[in-house]
Structure 1
Amino acid sequence: MSEAIAGEGTRLRVRVSGAVQGVGFRPYVYGLAARYGLAGFVANDPGGVIIEVEGHGTSEFLAALPLETPILARIDHISVQEIGALGARDFSIRRSEQGRSSTRIVADAATCQYCLDELFDPTSRYYLYPFINCSHCGPRYTIAEQLPYDRRNTAMKVFAMCAACAAEYADPASRRFHAEAIACPICGPRLSHGIADIAAAIAGGQIVAIKGVGGYQLLCDAADHDAVRRLRKRKQRDQKPFAVMLGSIEQANEIAETNAAELALLESVARPIVLLRSRNNLAPAIAPGLSRVGVMLPVVPLHHLIFHALGSIGARPAGGGPVVGSGGPVVVTTSANLGGEPLPIDNGEALRRLAGIADLIVTHDRDILTRADDSVVSVVAGRCQFIRRARGYVPEPIRLARSVPPLLAVGGALKSTVTVTRGNEAFVSQHIGDLDTAEGIRFFEETVHHLTSTLDVRPVVMAHDLHPDMASTRFAEASGCALIAVQHHHAHAAAVIAEHGLTAPTLALLLDGYGYGCDGGNWGGELLLCEGARFRRIGHLKPLQMPGGDRAARELWRMASAILQMLGRGHEIARRFASQPQAEQLRALLERPCGTTTTSAGRLFDAAAALLGVATLQSYEGEAAMKLEAHVRQTAVLEAGWMIDGGVLSFRPLFARLIASDIGATEGAELFHGTFAAACVDWVVRSAQTTGVTTVVLSGGCFLNAVLADEIQRGCIAAGLTPLLPRQVPPHDGGLSLGQAWIAALQTAEQPQALEGTA
């Protein structure tokens, strides 16, 4: 912030950029001006907020401005210019100025305590109203059409304010002064069903669909085992875990082991789903075979009202299990979509798509303009790690080390996101999902349009994955933009480099499931040296046969069979996997030297899970690795359990031990995790000694494994290295688009002629 000292004859023009629209910033400025007896005005403009003040207290005003901001506000920059005084005598809030926008919308925020107090206060005009909100909370990104963030540019424009709401909206002393989503029972949105009916349906064992902030959710009683099983069957979700919602933070310690960082995430304004270590007192069908359960607290007033009503019902339905602990009911809360489909947001669409899943479908008449699923996080190596970054966090930007051209990066094919750059900010979209259905591709295209139009960005370059047959790659090729292809694991590394602002050469350990290699091969366990926009592959896992190609990622016994063949024990395949009709033929396939091979770390986890009897098939990505991790309490290391030759890391000795008849699932899982982590640290340390580079970024889907991430990070630190994990995007393919954008930015800086004729 530039300094300015003004007297009575000077007026200051102050510009504030950042997340300063739709968060109560203008009334905050109004209050500060009143405190210091200043005249002038405040208004939203395309760059953020513009303020003009004059009077004796301008210096005090400037000093206080960044110190007492509203809870959702984020100031990036304050600039100050002295101009001539106008002799103004009062201070006002002016209508927003139009123009090309360089500000942003903040993320949706959970109901604040002030609104909760009013929600349950019988004397309040908002008593039991499910759409109560104020400047500190409520929907933002999901109801916004464009900037500036004013009511006329949101889904609320169709609701004319009643006299009482209009008075609060215009009152600088009110918490709802210029709160764009303000509404009340007289003039605001309405539910299709009463709260009592919703609660009765849940308590009665029914499955209920409700319209949440960013899309529809499915709810049922977590203690009703039959209801949970029916939900699985109807949603076609045999094994993938469900999250649960609790009415209060006190219940979290009753169903899971928690620490301070996890509790803070549960109570944060983003209200994500937080993965916690389960105490195993929930129905087994909620998270089958896993040690962690996803837990969340109520996000919107409707959630609070449902729990309040459930608490008053008292008796449990016949056949239902007990309420967990003494804190009240526990409710399964999951996205209201079939596997692979986008979240429904339209009322008509929800009624059609959910008719065969939900017993009761609860709609309302406030439109959702942008889909945003619940965010999912965990605490890894002491800090928050994203598993799914969406509602509550998007569209918060990631600050880059330099300003870059306007770019669009379109990500990969799984767990897709897109990234748009503007100046020195990268805006990573909400989780889109897999691009293997027409609906998924439409959602992807919707997201590209919404993010670029909302941010008012016209990309001059488009970055995409090196794989030639991804839907995102085909979208980029059809765009007419200048294109930059980025190798999959280079993008994983670059995402971490970008968010940490690294500029020096960096080692990158990438432990992943699959990525299209520069040689057209199946990469997935890579050690790279990254320098600027380029990388060099300095190591990889020893290639292993992948019999059946992509089928081996679902039928894990195939990868286990490849291990047996590698160890010269292919004759054991038919006996070990006698339940698999193709086991005998697979041995013959493995004896041919021309089959598909992979360097994937993820496939080694699959093989270990199958060899140890944890899982031979998987119904969702990462299932076997998560179930293997669930067996780990204390890791162990097999001495000489790995070999490194010419940068190639082999786990042949480790797998020779894992196939022994005297090793059980728990001992094997602990030995596998500990040895795998120790080998990776050894691998990285040797490369650091060779290259002289001591900073190492850690990414790829395998780093969702908390045991592996913790062990590798600790080992690197103990060896004198600086390990860095992704913190602002997930380590899996949800972070690819950020890395693609950063590599594209570096390449265009090196070759500015690539931009010629594209603007």
Structure 2
Amino acid sequence: MTAESIRVRGLVQGVGFRPTVWRLARACGLRGDVRNDGEGVLIRLSPGVAGDGAGVSGFLKRLREECPPLARIDAIERRPIDEPQALADLARRQDFVILESASTAVHTGIVADAATCAACVAEIRDPANRRHRYPFTNCTHCGPRLSIVAGIPYDRARTSMAAFPMCPDCAAEYKDPADRRFHAQPNACTVCGPKVWLQDSAGCVLDPTTFGAQDAIAAASGLLAEGRILAIKGIGGFHLACDATNPDAVAELRRRKRRYAKPLALMARDLDVIRGYCRVPGRDAEQLAELLSGPGAPILLLDRIRSDGAEQGGDPRRPLAPDVAPGQMTLGVMLPYSPIHHLLLEDWDRPLVMTSGNLSEEPQCIDNADALGRLGQLADVLLLHDRAILNRVDDSVVRVMAGTPRLLRRARGYAPTPLPLPPGFEAAPPLLALGGELKNTFCLVRDGQAILSQHLGDLEDAKTAREFERTLALYLDLFQVVPEALAVDLHPDYRSSLTGRDRAARDGLPLIGAQHHHAHLASTLADNGWPLDAGPVLGILLDGLGYGSDGTLWGGEFLLGDYLDFRRLAHLKAVAMPGGTRAILEPWRNLYAHLESAGGWATWRARFAGLEPIERLDAKPLGILNTLIARGLNAPLASSTGRLFDAVASALGVGGEILTYEGQAATALESLAADAMVRVGDGYPFERSSGPTGEMLDPAPLWDALLADLSRGRPPEEIAAAFHVGLATALGTLALDLASRHGLSTVALSGGVFQNRLLLESVTSGLEAAGLRVLLQRQVPANDGGISFGQAAVAAARVLSGSLGA
């Protein structure tokens, strides 16, 4: 066997990959060395006593089979070594060794923060272990990564753990390749590592013994049981926590946080506790348990048990406070994912509220001083620690739809794990896509992969916008990407688009405009590995609003397209949004606009006088709205599916008069319809017509049926279900006609409206029953959190084709 180098690319740093190489190489009788560098892991082998070609092949086979749990091998490249110095170095090797990392150009990735592994949980629960109750216990298979990293290669000196020199015991573990903490960069213990303490809002440190507790975390648990609200510093930011079964505590948390309607996330000790409040179907139990307790440990949306345990025959639990998720069919639940959470919840047989530590819509706090200033008025006590959070990372959110877990928010546990781009994108140059305005993420393209940032939030908020700029600078430096082109949304006023235009002008770079719904379509294609040259599909893209290529507002679109380009084939009828952005916040405006568009308000008022929604509208300042619509003043036309949902929700009196979060009315409508879907037959009708902008799906006919049902006293849940069924039927029928007409066999669904499980599953099952292939998003959100991924794919395709136009 000649000397050779083996380059391993992928997620291979900070995950115990080198010790695995070391162990397997020795087992196969090989000599040589292994090191981290900017491209991943470099293995060098020299002829050993038992080393031959078969030995190397066996070694590589085992390396793939026994890859560490957090690692991902993307490529293994072999070549002979002929450099004299390298050969001389290898000639001196008497066995196989691990070398220090080399600082070279960065082409590798950083893995996401990983939930505490079972071995570490066992240690913190073992009174005989030196890490008993130590809240920062971790190993190479778990613990913080992105949240503490400042640079690559991923070594301790480039993390916030650099401030904590290891004690002799931890240093011995760190240096021992046979130990699971070998080069675990956050490795620490009670002697040398970070500390945790309790502090009141005035900044005074509290002694746990005054609460009769053995340590700060035990005291925090006791305070929560008493009904207190705590701010808790975790892995990627602060949470605000309280007893989810204490109505007064939950109501007070909402008041202080100014989060008046949006559901609050829950954390439970184990799956048994979750079963007391959520439906966990037997056929899905293993999959859901693996998802909840896996390295990602996301918030998982599960259908709630309204009778708090009786549905599954379990012991009745203390009911959740009504304000946890008012009017919702689902609960967002997660399991403990750090030692702090495991210790906090070990005695709890009911959930805790565990919501982001911020005022509503602000970025989550990550710094102790900032938390004291911003959360001191929200929490009674703060549970703090002194390990710096360098990068804010929110909790990820997953929902199982059409039988598969699908990310609704990609953050902790998932970002910034690179996503391989489909075949055909291998030669794409470095690119930067800047995303949208809401649920913003940005995306880098490098080496045939997409590096999607963690969820950053809504850029309308000034603090979030500053966080966007800071995180963008971090990623460009962290991954050493120098973009050769930029991609932005076509909307002229999105902050992300303004940033892109400024950067393009400053650096003299091509600026590629990607239409909002085309980006949704491309995101779905790339998420499903659709090859660059595989041809067009039919996209059904449903959301609130997106800037159309004709300068109007779109939101209910049927596009024929691929990565390069698209053609608008059909859309939902455009209806005015009287008051502009006010119509997004006040659903009654959309109800009035839809009724006005569907025959005129006077007709509906005369036919259904005395009906509650008609009476409610009659009390509004409709004269002003008439003027806005008639003159086209601050009443833009929009083919928005989201606004249609708002209008129907308003007619049924659900979702609120003034919305406080995106999708509030639509979510309430879905929850109302859930139990009645099996009881309704045909849904409400839609009308089809043709026009200069393509075929049009007009919801006008549904209003006569809906208002008539209301006047007859049909249950609101059946009316909500009939709307869902009717919309799904109309979408499916039009899609089948368009696919047949254009010779298409594949349909892609995307946009925030397809976070609605009832609609997604109804449309998907109908299309699949007709023989069409349906592409749905899984790794990347269908909402605007996936826009940057789609923009990146569009930009890469256009650069590769030599076509940079919008």
Q: TM-score range by the shorter chain?
A: over 0.9
CA contact (8 A) 2:795 2:804 kept: no
Aligned with residue 80 of structure 2, among 76, 79, 82: 82
How many residues were matched structurally? Answer: 729
Partner Cα distance (1:532, 1:30) in 2: 43
**Cross-structure match for 2:765:** 714
Correspondence for 1:434: 458
- In the other structure, the counterpart of 1:473 is 497
Q: 1:300 and 1:142 mapped to 2: Cα distance? A: 13
2:437 is aligned, of 413, 417, 423, to 413
Superposition map of 1:575-724 within 5 A: 576=613, 578-579=615-616, 581-585=619-623, 588-589=626-627, 592=630, 594=632, 595-617=635-657, 618-631=659-672, 632-635=674-677, 636-638=680-682, 641-646=685-690, 647-660=695-708, 661-662=711-712, 663-724=714-775
| Deviation, structure 1 residue 256 | 0.6
- Offset at 1:664? 2.6
For residue 729 of structure 1, report the CA deviation from its aligned partner. Answer: 1.0
1:198 match: 220
Following the alignment from structure 2 to structure 1, what is the Cα–Cα distance between the partners of residues 735 and 289? 34
Cα distance change, pair 678–173 in 1 and its aligned pair in 2 (3 A): same
Structure 1 residue 579: Cα displacement: 4.8
Tell me, in whole angstroms, the C-alpha distance in 2 between the residues paired with 1:176 and 1:544: 60
Change (3 A) 1:634 1:504: farther
1: CA distance, partners of 2:598 / 2:616:
22
Secondary structure of the structure 1 residue equivalent to 2:107: coil
Contact preservation (8 Å) 2:231, 2:239: yes
Query: Offset at 1:666?
Result: 0.6
- Secondary structure class of the residue paired with 1:65: helix
Structure 1 unmatched ranges of 5 or more:
1-5, 312-327, 755-759
What CA deviation, in whole Å up to 9, does each residue of 1:465-515 have, x standing for no partner? 101111111111111232111111111111111222323111110011001
The answer on 1:264 being equivalent to 2:290 is: yes
The answer to whether structure 1 residue 300 and structure 2 residue 341 are counterparts is no
SS in 2 for 1:368: coil
Give the deviation of 1:97 after TM superposition: 1.0
Which moved further from structure 2: 360-369 or 702-711?
A: 360-369
- Following superposition, the deviation at residue 578 of structure 1 comes to 4.3
Alpha-carbon distance, 1:236 to partner: 0.1
Distance 1:629 1:585 in 2: 32
* Separation in structure 2 between the aligned mates of residue 557 and residue 604 of structure 1, nearest angstrom: 11
Indicate yes or no: 2:328 matched with 1:290.
yes
In structure 2, distance between residues paired with 1:172 and 1:70: 14
* 1:541 counterpart residue number: 572
1:748 aligns with 2:796: no
Which residue of 1 is the match for residue 411 of structure 2?
390
Which residue of 474, 490, 513 corresponds with 1:485? 513
State how far apart, in whole Å, the 2-side matches of 1:221 and 1:496 are: 39
- Take 1:400 and 1:568, find their aligned partners in 2: how far apart are those partners? 48
Equivalent in 778, 791, 796 of residue 727 of structure 1? 778
* 1:445-482: CA deviation from partner (whole Å, max 9, x where unpaired): 01111111111101111111101111111111111232
Structure 1 Cα separation of the partners of residues 510 and 491 of structure 2 = 17
Q: Say if 1:613 and 1:665, in contact at 8 Å, map to a contact too.
A: no
**SS where residue 633 of structure 1 aligns?**
helix
Shift of 1:384: 1.3
- Which of 6, 29, 49 matches 1:14? 6
Q: CA deviation at 1:371?
A: 0.5
TM-score by length of 2: 0.88
| CA distance in 2 between partners of 1:391 and 1:530 (Å) | 32
Shift of 1:263: 2.8
Aligned residue in 2 for 1:65: 63
Per-residue CA distance 1:727-749 (angstroms, 9 max, x = gap) = 11111111110111111111112
Separation in structure 2 between the aligned mates of residue 169 and residue 152 of structure 1, nearest angstrom: 14
Report the CA distance between 1:552 and its aligned residue. 1.4
In the TM superposition, what is the alpha-carbon distance from 1:570 to its structure 2 partner?
Answer: 1.2
1:491-549, Cα deviation, whole Å (9 max, x unpaired): 11111112223231111100110011112111100010114411111111111222222
- Which residue of 2 is the match for residue 349 of structure 1? 370
SS at match of 1:218: strand
2: CA distance, partners of 1:467 / 1:83: 53
Q: Distance in 2 between matches of 1:432 and 1:640?
A: 38
Q: For the Cα contact (< 8 Å) 2:38–2:102, is it kept in 1? A: yes
Within the alignment, does 1:222 sit opposite 2:244 as a pair?
yes
Match of 1:45 in 2: 37
The Cα of 1:330 is off from its aligned counterpart by 1.1
Q: Is the 8 A contact 2:684 2:705 kept in 1?
A: no
Partner of 2:312: none
1:556 aligns with 2:561: no
Match of 1:461 among 471, 475, 485: 485
Letter in 2 for 1:750: S
Instruction: Give ranges in structure 2 of 5+ residues lacking alignment.
Output: 199-215, 309-319
When residues 145 and 579 of structure 1 are mapped into structure 2, their CA distance, relative to the original with a 3 A threshold, is same
Q: RMSD value over aligned CA atoms? A: 1.7
Q: What CA distance in whole angstroms lies between the structure 1 residues aligned with 2:756 and 2:270?
A: 28
The answer (yes or no) to whether the contact 2:676–2:718 under 8 Å persists in 1 is no
Q: Distance in 1 between matches of 2:145 and 2:293?
A: 19
Letter in 2 for 1:27: P
Shift of 1:197: 1.7
1:562, 1:590 within 8 Å by CA — same for their partners in 2? no
User: Residue in 2 aligned with 1:367?
Assistant: 388
Deviation of 1:131 (Å): 0.2
- The alignment partner of 2:190 has SS state of coil
Q: Residue in 1 aligned with 2:106?
A: 101
Residue in structure 2 matching 1:147, options 152, 164, 175: 152
Contact 2:258 2:360 in 1 (8 A): yes
Paired residue for 1:495, among 499, 523, 548? 523
Secondary structure (helix, strand or coil) at the match of 1:78 reads: strand
1:263 maps to a residue whose letter is A
Q: TM-score, normalised by structure 1?
A: 0.93
Q: How far did 1:616 drift?
A: 4.7
Partner Cα distance (1:200, 1:250) in 2:
22
Aligned residue number for residue 397 of structure 2? 376
TM alignment of 1:527-538, pairs within 5 A: 527-538=558-569
- Once the two structures are TM-superposed, the CA of residue 219 in structure 1 deviates from its matched residue by 0.7
- Does structure 1 retain, via aligned residues, the 8 Å contact 2:13–2:110? yes
Distance 1:18 1:413 in 2: 31
Conserved 8 A contact 1:545-1:598:
yes
Alignment equivalent of 2:553, drawn from 522, 531, 553:
522
| Distance in 2 (alpha carbons) for counterparts of 1:530 and 1:400 | 18
Which residue of 1 is the match for residue 317 of structure 2?
A: none
Per the alignment, residue 3 of structure 1 pairs with none
SS in 2 for 1:408: strand
